[in-house]
Amino acid sequence: MKKLLYIYIIGFTILTFSQKREQDSLPKNIDDYVFVNPGDTLTINLKGISILPKHKFNSKDDVRYYLWFRRKVFKAYPYAQLASERLDSLKSRLHKIKKRSKRQKYTKRIQKYIEGEFSDQIKKMTTTEGRILIKLIHRQTGQSAFNNIKELRSGWRAFWYNTTANVFKLSLKTEYHPEAVNEDFLIEDVLQRAFMDGALKEQETKLNFDFQKITLDKKSKIDIEEYRQMFAKLKKKKKRKKIKSKK
């Protein structure tokens, strides 16, 4: 019972964030960003002892895709952070409640509270933001959403939620591996720089990876090709719809 809130958050998230298709636009004005110069190698301090090399973009056009993605991470991260905080608080309080009936009552009250915090915002999420949120939940809890649900309820429940997510080309089995997956590297890059700048409140990950080493291995090269292709497909789809509407 003490972990029902986690299931609620995951289930509610999957059934709501995928309702909105990608309708994004790339940033037009990028001159205000200090990292727009391709090949710049300036470094910055991280937590006083580490450094992050400045980004390396192939062109200014690539910067637009990175800034678009950065906006997605900024939107998803606070919900993963809030979910982790609420779950830790719930577990701590439920541990002190001995009677089952009181535990159930308290859990339901927290579920309603969480719904008020999450519902309207999550419904507005795009598929990309939903995918990022699933990955960030793994970052903050140490387990994939699928494994958490399987552990807390049943394998069948996890299968059902995962099947629902797959309808929208998402998977609750998705994990967070910034050392191996390009998108995860980009997410972590956005987070670390945002923590350093004070743009986002840092919440330590429960996963074990050395991002400084990862970014040095990658030589700070930003690969946004998958998003370039995604926007190209959306543009073609929009053009086909426009042609059909004129017929």
Question: Which amino acid belongs to residue 187?
Answer: I
Whether the per-residue pLDDT at 6 is higher than 60: the answer is no
Q: How far apart are CA 187 and CA 64, in angstroms?
A: 15
Examine residue 137 and state whether it is found in any structural domain, yes or no: yes
- Which range of 112-126, 143-157, 193-207 scores highest in mean pLDDT? It is 193-207
Predicted confidence band of residue 39 (pLDDT cuts 50, 70, 90): very low
Residue 241 is predicted with a pLDDT of 82
Question: Which amino acid belongs to residue 51?
Answer: I
Q: Where are the alpha helices (DSSP H) in the chain?
A: 4-16, 60-94, 100-123, 127-141, 145-152, 155-167, 182-197, 211-217, 225-246
Examine residue 196 and state whether it is found in any structural domain, yes or no: yes
Examine residue 120 and state whether it is found in any structural domain, yes or no: yes
Q: Which of the pair, 109 or 187, is modelled with greater confidence?
A: 187
Whether the per-residue pLDDT at 229 is higher than 60: the answer is yes
Mean pLDDT, residues 49-77 taken together? 87
Number of compact structural domains in the chain: 1
- pTM for the predicted model, two decimal places: 0.78
Examine residue 247 and state whether it is found in any structural domain, yes or no: no
Contacts for 148-157: CB closer than 8 Å, 24+ residues apart:
148/6, 148/10, 149/6, 149/7, 149/10, 152/3, 152/4, 152/6, 152/7, 153/7, 157/7
DSSP lists the bridge partners of residue 52 as: 44
Residue 42 is predicted with a pLDDT of 41
Q: Which two tokens stand for residue 143?
A: 């387990």
Examine residue 152 and state whether it is found in any structural domain, yes or no: yes
Examine residue 116 and state whether it is found in any structural domain, yes or no: yes
CB atoms within 10 A of CB 50: 16
Q: Which two tokens stand for residue 188?
A: 């972590």
Q: How far apart are CA 124 and CA 121, in angstroms?
A: 5
Least confident piece of the model among 1-5, 53-57, 94-98, 231-235: 1-5
Residue 44 is predicted with a pLDDT of 45
Range(s) of the domain holding residue 207: 4-242
Residue 147 is predicted with a pLDDT of 78
Q: How far apart are CA 118 and CA 19, in angstroms?
A: 15
Q: Which of the pair, 154 or 59, is modelled with greater confidence?
A: 59
